A and B are shown apart, each in its own frame.
Chain A
Amino acid sequence: MKKHNKPYVEWLLTLPSLGWLTLFFIIPTIIVFAIAFKPAGVNGGIGEGWTLESIRNLAQPSYPEIIFRTIWISVVATAVCLFLSTPVAYWLALQPPQRRQWLMLLIILPFWTNFLIRIFAWKTLLHSEGWLKYALVSLGLVSPDAILLYNSGAILVVLIYTYLPFAILPIYAAAEKFDFSLIDAAHDLGASRIHAFFSIFVPGIRTGLFTALMVVLIPALGSYAIPDIVGGASSEMIGNKIAQRTFVDRNLPHASALSACLALAVLIPMMISLIGRDRRFTKKTGGKKA
Chain B
Amino acid sequence: MEHFIELRDICKSYGQQAAVCNATLELKKGEVFSLLGPSGCGKTTLLRILGGFQYPDSGRVIVNGQDITDLPANKRPINTVFQNYALFPNMTVWDNIAFGLRVARMTRKEINVEVDRMLELIDMQDHARKKPGEISGGQKQRVAIARALVNKPQLLLLDEPLAALDLKLRQRMLIELDNIHDEVGITFLYVTHDQGEAMSLSDRIAVMNNGSIEQIGSPVEIYEAPGSSFVAAFIGDTNFINGQVKEKIDHDYIRIELEEFNSVLAWNDKQLNPGERVDLSIRPEKFRLFRNKPEATPYMNAVEGTVEDIIYLGAQTKYWIRVGEKLVSVQQQHGRFLLDETPITWGENVWVCWHANDGYMLQRFDEEDASMLPLPPEEDLEDDEEAQ
Which residues of A come within 8 Å of B, CB atoms? 179, 181-182, 184-192, 195, 200, 203-204, 288
Query: Are A192 and B86 also in contact (CB < 8 A) when A184-B53, A187-B53 are?
Result: no
Partner of A188, one of B79, B83, B84: B79
Q: Which residues of B contact A189 (CB under 8 A)?
A: 74, 79, 99-100, 103, 147-148, 151
Question: What are 21 A-B pairs at a CB distance below 8 A?
Answer: A179-B86, A181-B84, A182-B89, A184-B53, A184-B73, A184-B86, A185-B80, A185-B88, A186-B99, A188-B79, A189-B74, A189-B148, A190-B100, A190-B103, A190-B104, A190-B151, A191-B99, A191-B103, A195-B103, A200-B88, A204-B90
Give, as a whole number of angstroms, the nearest-CB distance from A106 to chain B. 24
Asked if A185 and B90 sit within 8 Å, CB to CB, the answer is no
- Taking CB atoms and an 8 Å cut-off, the chain B residues in 84-139 that contact chain A are 84, 86-90, 99-100, 103-104, 134
Give bound CA distance, A200 to B88, whole Å.
Answer: 7
A191 adjacent to B74 (CB under 8 Å):
yes
**Residue of A181, A189, A200, A288 with most chain B CB atoms under a 10 A cut-off:** A189
Tell me, yes or no, whether B72 is within 8 Å of chain A by CB.
yes
Contacts of A179 in B (CB 8 A): 84, 86
Chain A residues positioned under 8 Å from B151 (CB to CB): 189-190
**A188 cross-chain contacts in B, Cβ below 8 A:** 51-53, 73-74, 78-80, 148
- For B86, B87, B89, the residue with the greatest tally of chain A CB atoms inside 10 Å of its CB is B86
In the complex, chain A residues whose CB is within 8 Å of the CB of B104 = 190
Within 8 Å of chain A (Cβ to Cβ): is B261? no
Query: Shortest CB–CB separation between residue B118 and chain A, in angstroms?
Result: 13
Q: From residue B150, how far is it (CB to closest CB) to chain A in Å?
A: 9
A200 vs B102: C-alpha distance in the bound complex, in angstroms? Answer: 14
Please state if A204 and B89 are interface contacts (CB–CB under 8 Å). Answer: yes
A187 touching B88 in the complex, CB below 8 Å, given contacts A181-B82, A195-B103, A288-B134: no
CA distance A204 to B89 in the complex (A): 8
Contact assessment for B74 and A192 in the assembled complex, using a CB-CB cutoff below 8 Å: yes
User: A200 CA to B86 CA in the complex, in Å?
Assistant: 11
Cβ-defined contact, A184 with B89, below 8 A: no
Given contacts A184-B73, A189-B79, A192-B74, 6 further A-B contacts (CB under 8 A): A179-B86, A182-B88, A185-B82, A187-B72, A188-B78, A190-B151
Q: Do the beta carbons of B79 and A186 come within 8 Å of each other?
A: no
Give Cα A288 to B131, complex, Å: 11
Classify the secondary structure of A's interface with B: helix
Bound complex: CA A190 to CA B78 (Å): 10
* Chain B positions within 8 Å of A187 at CB level: 52-53, 72-74
CA distance A181 to B84 in the complex (A): 8
Most chain B Cβ neighbours within 10 Å, of A179, A190, A192, A203: A190
Measured CA separation A181–B83 after assembly (Å): 9
Min CB distance A41 to B, Å, is: 56
Lowest 5 A-B CB distances belong to which pairs? A189-B100, A185-B86, A190-B103, A181-B86, A203-B90
Bound complex: CA A192 to CA B74 (Å)? 6
Docked CA distance A200–B80 (Å): 17
| A190-B89 contact in complex given A179-B84, A184-B82, A195-B103, C-beta closer than 8 Å | no
Tell me the smallest distance from the CB of B341 to a CB of chain A, in Å. Answer: 55
**CB nearest neighbor in A for B90:** A203
Complex Cα distance, B204 from A175, in Å, reads 40
Q: A184 — nearest CB in chain B belongs to which residue?
A: B53
Which residues of the other chain, A, contact B86 by a CB distance below 8 angstroms?
Answer: 179, 181-182, 184-185
Cβ-closest chain B residue relative to A187: B73
CB distance from B90 to the nearest CB of A (A): 4
Docked CA distance A191–B80 (Å): 13
Q: Report Cα–Cα, A187/B71, bound state, in Å.
A: 12
Closest residue on chain B to residue A181 by CB atoms: B86
CA A184 to CA B88, docked complex, whole Å:
11
Nearest Cβ in chain B — how far from A235, in angstroms? 40
Question: Which residues from chain B contact A204 at a C-beta distance below 8 Å?
Answer: 89-90
Are B88 and A186 in touch, CB under 8 angstroms?
yes
For B83, list chain A residues within 8 Å (CB).
Answer: 181
Question: Which chain A residues lie closer than 8 Å to B79 at the CB level?
Answer: 188-189
Which of A185, A191, A200, A288 gathers the greatest number of chain B CB atoms within 10 Å? Answer: A185
Bound CA–CA A2/B52 (angstroms): 43
Contacts of B72 in A (CB 8 A): 187
Which chain B residues border A184 with CB–CB below 8 Å?
51, 53, 73, 80, 82, 86
Please report the C-alpha to C-alpha distance between residue A160 and residue B73 in the assembled complex, in whole angstroms: 36
A167 vs B151: C-alpha distance when bound (angstroms): 38
Chain A minimum-CB-distance residue to B83? A181
In the complex, what distance in Å separates the CA atom of A204 from the CA atom of B132? Answer: 14
Q: Which residues of the other chain, A, contact B73 by a CB distance below 8 angstroms?
A: 184, 187-188
The closest CB in chain B to the CB of A192 belongs to B74
Q: Tell me the B14-72 residues at the A interface (CB within 8 Å).
A: 51-53, 72
Nearest Cβ on chain B to A199's Cβ, whole angstroms? 8
Which chain A residues lie closer than 8 Å to B52 at the CB level? 187-188
Cα distance, A132 to B84, chains bound together (Å): 50
A185 CB to nearest chain B CB (Å): 4
Q: How far is the CA of A182 from the CA of B84 in the complex (A)?
A: 10
Cα distance, A182 to B99, chains bound together (Å): 12
Most-contacted residue by chain B among A184, A187, A188 (CB, 10 A): A188
B49 CB to closest chain A CB, in angstroms?
13
Which chain B residue shows the least CB distance to A190?
A: B103
A181 to B89, CA, bound (A): 12
Inside 8 A of B51's CB, which chain A residues have their CB? 184, 188
Min CB–CB distance A201 → chain B (angstroms): 11
- Write the chain A residue with the least CB distance to B103: A190
With a 10 A CB-CB cut-off, give which of B74, B80, B90, B99 has the most chain A CB atoms. Answer: B74
Complex CA gap A195/B74 in Å reads 11
Q: Which residue of B lies closest to A185 (CB)?
A: B86
A186 to B53, CA, bound (A): 11
Q: Could you tell me the distance between the alpha carbons of A204 and B80 in the complex, rounded to whole angstroms?
A: 21
| Cβ distance A150 to chain B, nearest Cβ, rounded Å | 45
B103 neighbours in A (Cβ, 8 Å): 189-191, 195
Residues of A within 8 A of B53 (CB): 184, 187-188
